Structure 1
Amino acid sequence: MLKFANQPHAPSWYAATVNDTTRHPVLEGTLAADVCVIGAGLTGVSAALNLAERGYSVALVDASKVGWAASGRNGGQLIGGFACDIDTFSQFMSAAEVKQVWDMGIETLDIVKSRVAKHRIDCGLTEGYFTAANKPRDVDALRRWRDEAATRFGYDRFQYVDADGVGRYAQSARYPGGLFDPDSGHLHPLNYTLGLARAATEAGVRIFEDSCVTRVRSERGMNVVETERGSVRARFVVLACNTWLGALAPDVSRKIMPVGTYVVATEPLGAQRMADLMPAQAAVCDSRFVLDYFRPAPDSRLLWGGKVSYSTLEPRDLAQAMRRDMLKTFPQLADVRIDYAWGGFVDITMNRAPHFGRVSPTVYFAQGFSGHGVNTTGLAGLLIAEAIDGQAARFDLFGKIHHRDFPGGATLRTPALVLAMAWYRLKDLL
């Protein structure tokens, strides 16, 4: 892991509206635990909480703060299922197993909602998610997907929306139709992560911040997790570092690529103007490969995300670049200023399927959420806890997926991906 000690959360609207300022100590000295979880984002906090509820003693160690990276910066969109096409799983699994994965994709939503309710997490959880078609051909594809979900998986919750109905979700002439999912939605991701961390500490998890892990080694049948000022001896280790995994497990980190994604928050629009702009108050994304996504905030701001950067370079004059994109959908917001602009890295796999597995029999990892981290991390934490507790069938199902290294090695893989994404951007325009 890289060193981010003593760095505050990104200067985002999320950080400005955080409702828990709890700080955790630096790891000093040597301690013992059943499990050491490395990384205090949504994956790590979820795994720690699930393990503690099963009676395991857990130490959770992070190089910076709880929710410092993608878990506290993302667009806050809670999207059922996985980032990849469902038939990605069909390449490696039977039809019955694919149905099981589908069911777990829906379960991801229930996990988040039940955690919010059980632990009374104040994170503005709102149900409703709309996928907006950019072109007529996308309308047809969304209709087909609605029908396939119903006939193949028995999921009949998707609602097709024609051009006349789009205004309920976005008052924009840009979209010729779309698909509404009443079960997905949106939330404040940093407050959600911090709420899970509070629940974890209440369950007995010991959390350590500003404690960069320098090495994980094996010693007399135990794992030793070392930081600059301390160490944890544990039977099991969970690597929940995502794009910051680096040298801790290089063979695993080569399966993912960091991708920059960015969000802006407008000034408050006022309750009525926001209600007029997005009457259903649902989260929205468009149907392009390189997409825009947006949603209303509880204080009547519009949160607009996009400008995905496969080069990892932040767009020049980020706030204004994002504002120009926003005005393509909502020209009526030309008088509105941008109050916050921020970004961060999400991790993607080559096939966009999540990557769960083991480095050794006692070292687990989960990564590669590819933009679906708000929901899928909850499932990852649960499955890791199940596996450590001796019920590994569901976790090992994801191990059937073959994940390739990104080509080009450390030097060339980012330029190679930039070239590939240029092709997808062109396809979006055609």
Structure 2
Amino acid sequence: MNAMTHPYAGDGSHTSSYYAVSANPAPKRPELLGDHQIDVCIVGAGYSGLSTGLNLAEKGYKVAIIEGARVGWGASGRNGGQIVNGLNASLQTIRKRYGQDTATFVAGLVQEGGEIIRERISTYEIQCDLKEKNIFTGLTSAHMGELEERMRLWASYGINNQEMLDKDQLRKHVNSDLYAGGLIDHSGGHMHPLNLALGEAAAFETNGGIIYEMSPVIDVEHAAARPVVKTAKGSITCKTLVLCGNAYLGHVVPMLTSRVMPVSTQVMATEPLGEARARVLLPTDTCIEDIRYILDYYRLSGDKRLLFGGGTVYGGADPSDIKAKLQRNMDKVFPQLKGVRIDYAWSGNFALSFSRVPQMGRIGDNTYFAHGYSGHGVTGSHTFGRILSEAIDGDLARFDVFAKVPWYPFPGGRMFRVPYSVMGSWWYALRDKFGM
């Protein structure tokens, strides 16, 4: 297919990432051709769409997913692969903005996404290099204070899987002089994100689900009693429509476009380091992210490469030289890796909401949406997929809580959301630089 047909995805092939070249075998699904009718149509074969679809298919619904490129083509197949509990906005922020009841509700589900991922991997025997635990690192005493406050706050909601690590204790997990200490979450983890998506797609199909690939949506009639989704070569009329395009939905549904902003983040993969060298860097094979505003995140792959990510570009553009951008930061964390070969480097977009709280809602009577995970979509999308499936099945209790959370547009609207966010990131980068 040409670029005019797939304006956001080129020819639909996966980006040239380590994940793509190490992906498990997967079939190429057909394009949507002709006109069809079904119970539920989902737009987007990333984690949100796959989670929603699999939950509904297991309940006996007839479900079709339409994907503009390939399963897991977007953020779900490009991310850092870290199972990190929580939302981008902290529980303290949620309590201040939306009240104690909402904070208590959110605290009750911040670990659910990771539990769903493990359940899917176990039930459907998905091979995706699952490893346990994740660590948040602090570079300054102020960072350590933030981590201690986080642990106390989560413990106040009955979440007690976290443990503070001083500098020497952290050394047992991360062989770097950069950090003052950290916080380990024993319920976190990491995995091969594209292989998780491919495994969930296969599970969806074993439960009777249908996936159409290479079928970008060009029009959505969401106000109709029976919503209609149109592609260049076909259409699906459904009882219920679910929009899960997130950062890649584009302008197909204009009323959702201004709610989020695409932001790109970058990842690179070193050459295989070998078991001994890899174990020196990360002795316990946990995944790491620091708590700066513009953070580094990294982990070991199944074949012992270091996967190192970070950086943000507001608006979703790709940097001109990803390797150069990330190499500087990797050398600060692990100077012993200077000169190591970088085999792969890639970029991908996530959807940022102004409040940093993901959004879930309904437009029209029978069209649902979920988006705006703001960099925490691995776990959040799995939780939201389950909540969407509950709502479609008639249980609106959890859906209604999120649907009622107010969303805020970016100041200045679509035209100024990028410069506004860039100015904000400069301020927080200065805070990071001077340890404020």
Fold-level similarity (TM above 0.5): yes
| Cα deviation, residue 424, structure 1 | 1.1
Q: Deviations over 1:243-279 (max 9, x none)?
A: 1222222222211111110000000110011111101
Residue 12 of structure 1 corresponds to: 17
Shift of residue 351, structure 1, vs aligned partner: 1.4
Please name the residue that 1:68 is paired with.
73
Asked whether the equivalents of residues 259 and 347 of structure 1 are also in contact (C-alpha less than 8 Å), the reply is: yes
Aligned to 1:347: 351
1:285 to 282, 289, 292: 289
Q: What corresponds to 2:145 in structure 1?
A: 140
Q: Secondary structure at the match of 2:105?
A: helix
Any conservation in 2 of the 1:5–1:211 contact (CA below 8 Å)? no
Tell me by how many angstroms 1:335 deviates.
Answer: 3.0
Q: Which amino acid aligns with 1:293?
A: Y
Matched, 1:337 2:341: yes
Question: Shift of the alpha carbon at 1:106?
Answer: 1.2
Q: Is the 8 A contact 1:2 1:244 kept in 2?
A: no
**How far off is 1:90 after superposition?**
2.1
Residues 88 and 351 of structure 1 are in contact (CA less than 8 Å); yes or no, is this contact kept in structure 2? no
Q: Compare 406-415 and 131-140 and name the one that shifted more.
A: 406-415
Greater Cα offset, 3-12 or 19-28: 3-12
Q: Which moved more, 1:49-58 or 1:90-99?
A: 90-99
Deviation at 1:168, TM superposition (A): 1.7
Which of 191, 194, 197 is matched with 2:201 structurally? 197
CA distance 1:165–1:339, change in 2 (3 Å): same
Please provide the CA RMSD for this pair: 1.5
CA distance in structure 2 between the aligned counterparts of 1:94 and 1:428, rounded to whole angstroms: 29
1:172-183 equivalences under 5 Å are 172-183=176-187
Question: Secondary structure at 1:71's aligned position in 2?
Answer: helix
Counterpart check, 1:168 vs 2:172: yes
- Matched-pair contact (CA < 8 Å) for 1:3–1:212: no
C-alpha distance in 2 between matches for 1:311 and 1:196 = 29
Match runs of 1:24-423 below 5 Å: 24-91=29-96, 93-150=98-155, 152-217=156-221, 221-423=225-427
After superposition, the Cα gap between the structure-2 partners of 1:142 and 1:219, relative to the gap in structure 1 and judged at 3 Å, is closer
Q: Give how far 1:91 is off.
A: 4.4
TM-score of the superposed pair, with normalisation by structure 1: 0.97
Measured after TM superposition, the shift of residue 96 of structure 1 is: 3.9
SS at match of 2:111: helix
2: CA distance, partners of 1:306 / 1:153: 30
1:109–1:220 Cα change, 3 Å = closer
| Aligned positions, number | 429
Query: 1:93 offset after TM fit, Å?
Result: 4.6
Partner Cα distance (2:396, 2:96) in 1: 21
Local SS of the residue matching 2:410: coil
Contact 2:263–2:317 (CA<8 Å) still a contact in 1? no
CA contact (8 A) 1:311 1:418 kept: no
Kept in 1, the 8 Å contact 2:8–2:248? The answer is no
Q: By how many angstroms is 1:3 displaced?
A: 4.9
Aligned residue identity for 1:115: R
3-state secondary structure, aligned to 1:195: helix
Deviations 1:38-78 (A, max 9, x none): 01111111111111111111110011111001110011111
SS of 1:306's partner is strand
Letter in 1 for 2:340: V
Alpha carbons 1:60, 1:207 under 8 Å: kept: yes
CA contact (8 A) 2:264 2:312 kept: yes
- Deviates most, 96-105 or 207-216: 96-105
Q: Counterparts of 2:169 and 2:360 in 1: how far apart (Å)? A: 39
Distance in 1 (alpha carbons) for counterparts of 2:414 and 2:231:
25
Q: How does the TM-score come out when normalised to structure 2?
A: 0.95
Amino acid at match of 2:166: D
Shift of 1:20: 2.4
* Structure 1 stretches lacking a partner, 5+ long: none
Q: Quote how far apart the aligned CAs of 1:128 are.
A: 0.9
Q: Deviations over 1:286-336 (max 9, x none)?
A: 010110000011111000000222253333321122112100110000131
Shift of 1:218: 5.4
Which amino acid counterpart does residue 318 of structure 1 have in structure 2?
Answer: I
Residue type at the aligned position of 1:129: N
Deviation (angstroms), 1:220: 6.5
- Residue type of the alignment partner of 2:228: V
Structure 2's unaligned 5+ residue stretches are 1-5
- Displacement, 1:400? 2.3
Q: Structure 1, residues 104-156: CA drift from partner, whole Å, max 9, x if none? A: 11111111110110011101111110000011111112112212221x21112
- Partners of 2:363 and 2:76 in 1: CA distance: 23
CA contact (8 A) 1:263 1:343 kept: yes
Aligned-pair identity in percent equals 38
